[in-house]
Chains A and B, each alone.
Chain A
Amino acid sequence: MKIGPYKIKFEDRLKFTALDATRIALFSVILTLIAFSAFFWKEGINPIKGYSEMFTYAFATASGIELTIRRMAFMLFVTLAFIIPMRGGIWNVGAPGQLYIGMLAAVGIGIWGKGLPPGILIPLMFLAAIIGGGILGAFVGYLKEKMNVNEIVVALMLNLIMYYLVKYLIEGPWMDRSGRPESTQLPHAARLPMISDSLIPYTIFLAIALGIILYFFLSKTSFGYQIRLMGTNPNAARYSGVSRVKIGVVTMMMGGALAAIAGVHQVAGIAGVYRIHRYFAKFPGTWAYYGIVFGLIAVLNPMAAIVVCFLFTGMQVGTMALQGRLGMGYGADLALIGILMIFLVAGQFFYRRKIVFSKEITTADGEI
């Protein structure tokens, strides 16, 4: 292809650095924002005003930043739940199911342990969720590595099974007595403490700490190295004696546990709700899938995921608020994430390739 004096062609990348990834992600985001401007035009809103309202609400108002941070903790857990197994070469699209099992464990333990002090009850809830999510994840990992069953299909099926299980419980045995289709409310002792006066539970620190710890786990420990080796070069891993099954099961177990923690955060960390609300169990899973999007933007780096989750949760929160602020139609936030996703997928092309502009004869002088 030729533009003016320049010749454009695609070349294979020899190496792909985090900086390249950042550029591609930023480029996708910019394209998304440009494309999304069409939605503003359609509604008769100046895009600059639209975006400023969006970012102002999400990052610069007291109520918005509170929601952004609380939701970010949730997103960070599900993003990490996607990242860890993916680094070992396994797709964890089972976050919704693992999330549901975390919710069930939290509420089950919370109600069963009525009367226990918070110091015992809350750790028990986390423990139960981690075990539940871990088992669900490990099941998928085992099927994948031991029996070579497609992990994506199995996880999707498990999500749907768990969805119906949650629905059955909150409309049946666990239903609130006065008759709303939600689980019984958690006792006070089972509610997560909030940071001083705000409505942000301490799980946000847990989420950030996990992001940092998992980063060092992957980059500095020998087991982390084995995981990465399995993800990048399974043959080399096999020759060096790393067990596929072990990596598969353990990473999926970790992923499952992380998503389950998001479930605890969701039921025990939202003021005034403190139950499995029917909105948390919508078909088929909704937000937990965003972990995939955010994980890809962060190019599977747990530390980068912290920043990515903060920014993009903010964008989502801000877009949601556009209706109340500018009269934007419902669903704009979903549309924004959708467009972002498409550009990111397209951006993957440049993970392997780069564009080379060259003048006739002269060599490469620029790249994207």
Chain B
Amino acid sequence: MDWIFVVAAIQASMIFLFAAIGELIDQRSGILNVGLEGLMLVGALGSFVVADATGNPWLGFIAGIAAGGIFGLLHGFLSITLKADQVVSGMGIWIFALGLTTYIGNPLSGPLNDAGKMNGIAGGLTPMFFIGLLIVFAVWFILFKTRLGLEIRSIGEDPYVAEASGLNVEKIRYLCVIAGGALGGLSGAYLILVYNPIWSPNPTMGRGWIALAIVFFSMGKPKILILGAFLLGFLWHFALSSTEIIPWLPALSYHFYRMIPFAATIIILMIISSKRISRKLGAARPAALGKPYIHNE
């Protein structure tokens, strides 16, 4: 295990981390977005197109974030205003994004323009790594140390009570889905501009679902989420060179290591399904998650 490995693993983790923290905001406000993969796809395409054309990775990041935000907004419109089922809407976002990015991106397939890629500054880590960590910290701070965060969480727990206490449920939920979408887009942009600067059909290859797993796995706690994201990033690369890092491990195919996060998520969900254990662990499971909020007039 050397520095290149560590950098590669950290970069893989960042992709999971951005997407997962975005989804965490959504879920804390009571919105489930299973279309995370779709947000990442549009973020990836947006950033690729702009960075490739302008040769400026910063503009690429902005475009990726904007594209993700717009799709987050779309999810909000469908699930908050139109009150569509959140799962259907999320699936729709994903299938729509997959189709759109495959079609638009296909002629661009291939490596990114050299100038568009974000280069490492500190031992291969890019400026976006540090900025990204700041963003994640800011999200945590807002969610748990500010009044707005408290409002978001109370809406996730019970929107009716929140509304009765004078909060504008729809407005705050919109804010959350857009922020979550933007972070999903950032994750896709990071994938394309830092991790693997190449456009190919469906470049995320299921990373969005892994990020979704991390959110459930973290029981809604950002600290566990950050830990989980880094753990999975390392596991992701460890899967490829397990026997070189720990020689006495049996030579398992990398497929088995990549199954671990998914199996672990199922087990965690089974464990916290017990109310007693879940209370003991302090697991946050927004009670209103996934249900459209229909306020009575």
- B289 → chain A, closest Cβ, in Å? 8
Which residues of B are found within 8 Å of A157, using beta-carbon distances?
213, 262-263, 265-266
Q: Classify the secondary structure of A's interface with B.
A: helix
B103 touches A345 (CB 8 A): no
The main secondary structure of chain B at its interface with chain A is: helix
Cβ-based interface call for A153 (8 A): yes
| B256 with A168: CB separation less than 8 A | yes
Pick from B83, B106, B206, B266: contact of A283, CB below 8 A: B206
Interface segment out of the listed B14-22, B88-96, B229-237: B88-96
Cβ of A225 under 8 Å from chain B: no
User: Could you say which of A91, A160, A329, A346 contacts B206, with CB atoms under 8 Å apart?
Assistant: A160
A199 within 8 Å of B by Cβ?
Answer: no
| CB atoms of B253 and A172 under 8 A apart | yes
Note all chain A residues with C-beta closer than 8 A to B201. 330-331
The A-contacting residues of B in range 253-297, CB under 8 angstroms, are: 253, 255-256, 258-259, 262-263, 265-266, 269-270, 273-274
Q: Are A349 and B206 in contact (CB under 8 A)?
A: no
Are B83's CB and A349's CB within 8 A?
yes
Residue of A nearest to B97 (CB): A338
Give the contacting residue for A345; candidates B88, B102, B107; CB below 8 A.
B88
Q: Which residues of B contact A154 (CB under 8 A)?
A: 266, 269
- Complex Cα–Cα for A336 and B259 (A): 32
Q: Which of B82, B84, B106, B209 is the one whose CB lies under 8 Å from A156?
A: B209
Asked if A284 contacts B206 (CB within 8 A), the reply is yes
Alpha-carbon distance A267/B87, docked complex (angstroms): 30
| B-chain residues with CB within 8 Å of residue A333 when the two chains form the complex | 99
Chain A residues engaging chain B, CB cutoff 8 angstroms: 39, 91, 93, 143, 147-150, 152-154, 156-158, 160-161, 163-165, 167-168, 171-172, 283-284, 289-290, 292-293, 296, 329-339, 341-342, 344-346, 348-349, 352
- Considering the complex of A and B, which 9 residue pairs feature the smallest CB-CB distances, nearest first? A338-B99, A331-B102, A334-B99, A331-B103, A338-B96, A335-B99, A349-B82, A168-B255, A157-B262
Q: What is the minimal beta-carbon distance from A347 to any residue of chain B, in angstroms?
A: 9
Q: Find the A residue at minimum CB distance from B102.
A: A331
Are the C-beta atoms of A160 and B209 separated by less than 8 Å? yes
A163 to chain B: which residues have CB within 8 Å?
206
CB <8 Å contact, A335 and B103: yes
Is B199 among interface residues, defined by CB-CB distance under 8 A?
no
Q: In the assembled complex, how far is the CB of residue B97 from the closest CB belonging to chain A, in whole angstroms?
A: 7
User: Cβ of B205 < 8 Å from any Cβ of A?
Assistant: yes
Indicate with 1 or 0, residue by residue over B97-115, a CB within 8 angstroms of chain A CB atoms.
Answer: 1111011111100000000
In the complex, are the beta carbons of B106 and A153 less than 8 A apart? no
- Which residue, of B201, B210, B270, B273, has the highest number of chain A Cβ atoms within 10 A? B273
Nearest chain B residue, comparing its CB with the CB of A167: B255
Contact B102 A153 (CB under 8 A): no
- Do A164 and B255 form a contact, CB below 8 Å, given A153-B213, A157-B266, A289-B95? yes
Residues of B contacting A338 in the complex (Cβ-Cβ under 8 angstroms): 92, 95-100
Q: Which of B84, B100, B102, B265 contacts A346 (CB 8 A)?
A: B84
Task: Tell me if A348 and B263 are in contact (CB < 8 A).
Answer: no
Cα-based distance from A143 to B270 in the complex (angstroms): 8
Residues on A with beta carbons closer than 8 Å to the beta carbon of B104 = 331
17 contacting pairs across A/B (C-beta < 8 A): A143-B266, A143-B273, A147-B273, A156-B213, A158-B262, A160-B209, A161-B262, A164-B255, A293-B95, A330-B106, A331-B99, A334-B99, A335-B99, A337-B95, A338-B99, A348-B84, A352-B83
Let me know if A334 and B103 touch, CB within 8 A: yes
Rounded to whole Å, the gap between the CB of B156 and the closest CB of chain A is 15
CA distance A101 to B269 in the complex (A): 23
Picked from B91, B93, B206, the residue with its CB within 8 Å of the CB of A93 is B91
Q: A39-B103, A93-B91, A349-B83 are in contact. Are A160 and B259 (CB under 8 A)?
A: yes
Report how far A139 CA is from B69 CA in the complex, Å. 36
* Interface: B39 (CB within 8 A): no
Say yes or no: is B8 at the interface (Cβ < 8 Å to chain A): no
* Smallest beta-carbon distance B91→chain A, Å: 6
* Any A CB within 8 A of the CB of B61: no
Partner of A337, one of B85, B93, B99, B270: B99
Q: Write out, one digit per residue, whether chain B residues 209-230 have a CB within 8 A of any chain A CB (1) or not (0).
A: 1101100100000000000000
Q: Report the bound CA distance from A239 to B121 in whole Å.
A: 65
B78 at the interface (CB under 8 A from A): yes
If A171-B253, A329-B107, A341-B91 are given as contacts, then 6 extra A-B residue pairs at C-beta distance below 8 Å, sorted by A number, are A143-B270, A147-B270, A152-B34, A153-B269, A171-B255, A331-B103
Chain A residues contacting B258 (CB-CB under 8 Å) are: 164
B residues in contact with A341, CB < 8 Å: 91-92, 95-96
Chain B 47-60 near chain A by CB (<8 Å), digits 1 or 0: 00000000000000
A166 to chain B minimum Cβ distance, whole angstroms, is 9
How far, in whole Å, are A13 and B95 apart by their CA atoms in the complex? 29
- A-contact 0/1 string along B103-145, CB 8 Å cutoff: 1111100000000000000000000000000000000000000
> How distant is A335 from chain B, measured CB to nearest CB, in Å?
4
Judge whether B88 and A160 touch: CB under 8 Å.
no
Residues of A within 8 A of B206 (CB): 160, 163, 283-284
